[in-house]
Amino acid sequence: MSRVGFVGLGTMGAPMAGHLVRHGFDVVVWNRTPEKADPVREQGAHLAEDLAEMGRECDVVMLCVNRTEDVAACIAAMTPHAKPGTLFVDHSTISPAGAREIHADLTSLGFSFLDAPITGGSMGAQKGTLTIFCGGRHEDYDRALPFLRAYAKRPEFVGEAGAGQMMKMANQIAVGGALMALCESLAFAEAAGLDLAQTRELLAGGAAGSWAFDNYGPKIIAKDWSPGFSVKNQRKDFGYCFEAAETVGAVLPGTEVVDQLLAELDAEGHGEWTTAALFEVLRRKSAG
């Protein structure tokens, strides 16, 4: 059986690698902070000494790191040692243009690449119920599928190289807008003297209803700003959204408003708060 590598054992990556082990794959892991590999090593994964070893040892390597440059750097450290035909699958949310560049570079070197950003949150990673938006060649998607099924309820092929990241951008635009709808509505309701819990519950059941109303609404009422999905990560993704929108000529007037408001939290050092704290920004702008 082919060995599968997993680079990046953060909140998402660690449970994803764990699912690969539990599904019986021969798993090699690597993380910048090696201690984070302890739990998945105890489950049976092998910790690579460096990315060179990871490149040598694996036929398929998943990555779940942070920014475009992190993905590029990790891949550059593996390719000089990797076997021809090695498939790299990137689960990070990065720039679509960056993903296309990495795809072109790897293809020219005789390797394969899928951009495969994930949604479903830390809970989805733990439960193995993630959705994965896969861009690249369909044959590479087919090759990755047995591994992806270990942690995804819904791996989905969405188009050529970069399309996975474009789909993730479309998702983040809609997520940001739904957050704005929720927070602006509840901040207004509070200023108007309405009962917030009653407002959330009544509106959630009708044409205003959304995943955000169901999941972020209760956090807002409890004034619980623990992440969840952090302001910093949402803004990182928005940066890629704006870059991608410029590339394809789309306009994002709503996303711009959300980003400006979240920037206020970021500037105050609350980048680690949940994005639902957008409510706080709107609330204190109220005179009421």
Of 36, 83, 168, 236, catalytic: 168
The yes-or-no answer on residue 168 being catalytic is yes
Pick 79 or 129: Cβ nearer its own copies? 129
Binding residues for its own copies, per CB under 8 A? Answer: 96, 119-121, 131, 133, 154, 156, 158-159, 163, 166-167, 169-171, 173-178, 180-182, 184-189, 191-195, 198-199, 202-203, 205-213, 215, 229, 241, 244-245, 248-255, 257-258, 261, 282, 285-288
Cα-to-chain-centroid distance, residue 37: 20
- Of the candidates 56, 53, 64, the residue with the CA atom closest to the CA atom of residue 15: 64
Give phi and psi for 68, each to the nearest 5. Answer: -50, -50
Pick 113 or 279: Cβ nearer its own copies? 279
Pick 76 or 123: Cβ nearer its own copies? 123
- Of the candidates 147, 150, 151, 126, the residue with the CA atom closest to the CA atom of residue 58: 147
Q: Measured on CA atoms in the order 21, 23, 27, 31, is the torsion positive or negative?
A: negative
Task: Report the alpha-carbon distance of residue 134 to residue 139 in Å, rounded.
Answer: 12
Chain length of the chain: 288
Q: Rounded to the nearest whole angstrom, what is the least distance from the CB of residue 275 to its own copies in the complex?
A: 10
Q: How far separated are the first and last CA of the chain, in Å rounded?
A: 65
Pick 37 or 179: Cβ nearer its own copies? 179
Q: Rounded to the nearest whole angstrom, what is the least distance from the CB of residue 256 to its own copies in the complex?
A: 9
Give helix 163-191 / helix 231-248 axis angle, nearest 10°.
Answer: 120
Pick 88 or 213: Cβ nearer its own copies? 213
Q: Rounded to the nearest whole angstrom, what is the least distance from the CB of residue 35 to its own copies in the complex?
A: 30
Instruction: Let me know the angle formed at the C-alpha of 91 by 254 and 147, rounded to the nearest 5 degrees.
Output: 140
Q: Rounded to the nearest whole angstrom, what is the least distance from the CB of residue 205 to its own copies in the complex?
A: 7
**Residues in contact with 206: Cβ distance below 8 Å, sequence separation at least 6, in sequence order:** none
Q: Which residues are catalytic?
A: 168
